[in-house]
Structure 1
Amino acid sequence: MRNFVSERAREIPPSGIRKFFDLCIGMDDVISLGVGEPDYSTPWNISEAGIYSIEQGVTSYTSNKGLPALRDTLAADLARRYGTDYSAEDEIIITTGVSEAVDIAIRAVTDPGDEVLVMDPAYVSYAPCVTLAGGRPVPLPCLEKDRFKITPEALMERITPKTKSILLNYPNNPTGGVMNRSDYRAIADILVDHDLLLISDEVYSELTYEGTHCSPASIEELRERTITLNGFSKAYAMTGWRIGYLCAPKEICDAALKIHQYVMLCAPVMGQVAALAALRQAEEDKNEMVREYRLRRNLFVEGLNRIGLRCHMPLGAFYAFPSVKTTGLSDEEFAEQLLKEEKVAVVPGSAFGPAGEGHIRCSYATSREDLSVAVERMGEFVARLRG
């Protein structure tokens, strides 16, 4: 049967995250810090809007681009929060989660042989999506010493005549790193001089704990060469609703829309109705969740450093990315032994790329009680390792 499987499908690896989820199956008393998902239910006023739409028979297709009211409200919301100026009619597509937005954005601008610089470490789907589009993913290291930011020096080292675009995710999964306006300005001239596109996954934008999120499309030099991806999953605890969006200049948006039309047609209408309610009615619910994540972050990161796992303070998302290099174990060995001996599930940093080696990703999107117990168990494990 192998002969029937495409070469590209054979090339892409299985998710390193799923491997460790599978190890947890059947284990009792496991505290999971591996899931990149809010531990909250969707706020009731959002769910109620989706339920009501079904009760009213709103169950049909929408425009390929998405509900006009959602796009109008979204354009105004993005302008208010981040200073962008996207046209609701011509430059926004509502997608089935941000995962679809990533896929169609890459396919819309990537030809066979194009090189796409993918930040490293990064979410596990980026490089495979580039491969499936016929491009070549090139890791762009974002190192702990640079607070996991893209530096102009690292960017210049990776650019070749075949480089077409750069794919970034800030606030970042898995590191919690953030790029501010001055950081983007530091690389803007390079992107312009080399005529590169910027694909910016900003799904954690509203989980920014220090200052405000900077969307690179709000920077004049980058406006016409940026594809912005975002969604409702993380900030509004709507992972299962599968509603995301893509914003881009009209020509790029039109290209992405053609792919969206053929592979998805439109995002689920009840999810779009719920997303509209999120923008209109759930600001305080979202803010309360963000306040709680900040408290958890402070508790957990302080605990990691106390037990001897050096961890920078994440400025966004809901992940800590401590180093385990001083334990004498690789990140994979550390994660496997921690799960078996202390029943705490984390994800090896190498699952997110070579630059993640020697780290583990820990999600603090779980209760403060569980985080405290997890730190205690991890402390006992580290103490045994160091004798």
Structure 2
Amino acid sequence: MSESDLPVPSVPNAREAVRALRPSQIREVANAGFGVADVLPFWFGESDRVTPAFIRDAASAALAAGATFYTHNLGIAPLREALAGYVSELHGATSPDHVAVTSAGVNALMLAAQLVVGAGDRVVAVTPLWPNLVEIPKILGAHVDTVALGYGEQGWQLDIEQLLAALTPETTMLLINSPNNPTGWVMSRDEQRTVLAHCRRHGIWIVADEVYERLYYPDADAHPAAGSKPSRTAPSFLDLAGRDERVICVNSFSKAWLMTGWRLGWIVAPAALMDDLGKLVEYNTSCAPAFVQQAGITAVEQGESFTQALVHDLRASRDHLVRALSTVPGVDVKAPPGAMYLFFSMPGASSSLELCKAMVREVGLGVAPGSAFGPQGEGFLRWCYACDTARLDAGVERLQRFLTQHG
């Protein structure tokens, strides 16, 4: 048999569940900005400030001391203890036995899903939502149904009855991200209480992505009453649920301490899950880097004043950008109570991906398309305001210029 008679091999492909995953439209817009001079990028969810020096110095010292070896799968004991103390202060008594360290918050979300979801399971997610949360269960072969927030005069709101109706006894897991990326919506304590009671009745796991919990700006805190203290954190399922219930809370060092590139997160979960979680960490990443974990200890133990100052600055930036955008004809924007984004509508946003690409090409303004966060986000754009007000003003000027050119 000659070579010409041999069968032509088929094109190698990933399995269908992976091929069906949504690509990141945020990255697609960012890619459109390559080669464009002087782009103002507001598309990614991170501050334009570097990690504070006291955390960077702690990592440098740990490296100098030789913290370059493998650690326990669930994290070094001092960091788990520090995190347990931090969570206890914010949300009530938490043991290190309920805490696991992960290689980033997104890794924590994947591990949480791997713990409780398998092929054929049903997952419910509240949207619009950062796409990773919706796509992760699909990688595992699960089916994801969505319940959309509604937008009106009060901003983004949840129809609690609609969510409860979706949480049938056949549901394995509920995904909640509050404060929410991209909308800034925050689930109220009463809503959490109602959902927790419903999930208890039906044995549904709650996986709560609470990475933005410290970036919280309730209206009452703008002018606190005499003698009162501003809220340090958004409402959390950890405030209501026992530590050994079907509740897994995911968090990250990325937002409260500006450690996006460090890839360090944590999970609070029932102690009974920890041995199995340790296996999953082993088969995913083995452990988070030792010197990064040492820096994490410093962040938790010494970073409170920094975090509070950061939240103060972010509130000011949010209010500044809301005022500026409100002067632009056709823009509809509301000040959200949490996270670091404005999710707003404007002319042309019904095709948000093409609109964002056009703004990058024509005026060098980079924001994220609402469609990146699911079909419920179409018609809106996401603008990360974690930067100084002069930069925000420059962005608004470019937005006005774009709208004038297309008027």
- Does TM-score exceed 0.5, indicating one fold? yes
Find the residue that maps to 1:205 and give its secondary structure: coil
Matching residue's letter, 1:144: Y
Aligned position for 1:175: 183
Instruction: Deviation per CA, 1:26-59: give whole Å up to 9, x if none.
Output: 1112111101112111111111111001111121
**Deviation of residue 153 (structure 1)?**
1.6
Aligned position for 1:74: 83
Matching residue's letter, 2:199: L
Contact 2:33 2:39 in 1 (8 A): yes
Select 1:358's aligned residue among 379, 386, 394.
379
CA distance in 2: counterparts of 1:357 and 1:314, whole angstroms: 18
**Deviation of residue 242 (structure 1)?**
1.0
CA distance in 2: counterparts of 1:78 and 1:350, whole angstroms: 34
Deviates more, 1:375-384 or 1:196-205: 375-384
**Deviation of residue 204 (structure 1)?**
0.9
Aligned position for 2:39: 30
CA distance in 2: counterparts of 1:149 and 1:254, whole angstroms: 38
Contact 1:113 1:162 in 2 (8 A): no
**Deviation of residue 158 (structure 1)?**
2.3
CA distance in 2: counterparts of 1:327 and 1:18, whole angstroms: 20
Cα 1:112–1:205 change in 2 (3 A) is same
CA distance in 2: counterparts of 1:156 and 1:2, whole angstroms: 44
Select 1:166's aligned residue among 174, 178, 182.
174
Matching residue's letter, 1:241: W
Select 1:103's aligned residue among 92, 107, 110.
110
CA distance in 2: counterparts of 1:48 and 1:334, whole angstroms: 42
Contact 1:59 1:270 in 2 (8 A): yes
Aligned position for 1:310: 332
RMSD: 1.8
TM-score, normalised on structure 1? 0.94
Deviates more, 1:191-200 or 1:333-342: 333-342
Find the residue that maps to 1:254 and give its secondary structure: helix
Deviates more, 1:365-374 or 1:140-149: 140-149
Matching residue's letter, 1:318: M
**Deviation of residue 112 (structure 1)?**
1.1
Cα 1:35–1:60 change in 2 (3 A) is same
Cα 1:72–1:222 change in 2 (3 A) is closer
**Deviation of residue 311 (structure 1)?**
1.1
**Deviation of residue 82 (structure 1)?**
2.4
CA distance in 2: counterparts of 1:147 and 1:71, whole angstroms: 37
Aligned position for 1:92: 99
Select 2:293's aligned residue among 272, 284, 299.
272
Aligned position for 1:333: 354
Contact 2:343 2:380 in 1 (8 A): yes
Matching residue's letter, 1:94: V
TM-score, normalised on structure 2? 0.89
Aligned position for 1:42: 51
Deviates more, 1:280-289 or 1:154-163: 154-163
Aligned position for 1:6: 15
Cα 1:59–1:36 change in 2 (3 A) is same
CA distance in 1: counterparts of 2:260 and 2:374, whole angstroms: 24
Matching residue's letter, 1:24: G
Contact 1:192 1:221 in 2 (8 A): no
**Deviation of residue 364 (structure 1)?**
0.6
Cα 1:328–1:270 change in 2 (3 A) is closer
Contact 1:216 1:222 in 2 (8 A): no
Cα 1:317–1:81 change in 2 (3 A) is same
Instruction: Deviation per CA, 1:102-131: give whole Å up to 9, x if none.
Output: 001001100211111122111111122101
Cα 1:221–1:67 change in 2 (3 A) is closer
Q: Where do 5+ consecutive residues of structure 1 fail to align?
A: none
Instruction: Deviation per CA, 1:60-88: give whole Å up to 9, x if none.
Output: 111111111111111111111223x3320
Find the residue that maps to 2:185 and give its secondary structure: coil
Aligned position for 2:121: 114
1:138-153 aligned at under 5 Å gives the runs 138-145=145-152, 147-153=155-161
CA distance in 2: counterparts of 1:129 and 1:114, whole angstroms: 13
Give the % identical residues: 33
Matching residue's letter, 1:314: P
Aligned pair count reads 383
Aligned position for 2:203: 195
Contact 2:148 2:158 in 1 (8 A): yes
Q: Where do 5+ consecutive residues of structure 2 fail to align?
A: 1-9, 219-230
CA distance in 2: counterparts of 1:276 and 1:220, whole angstroms: 26
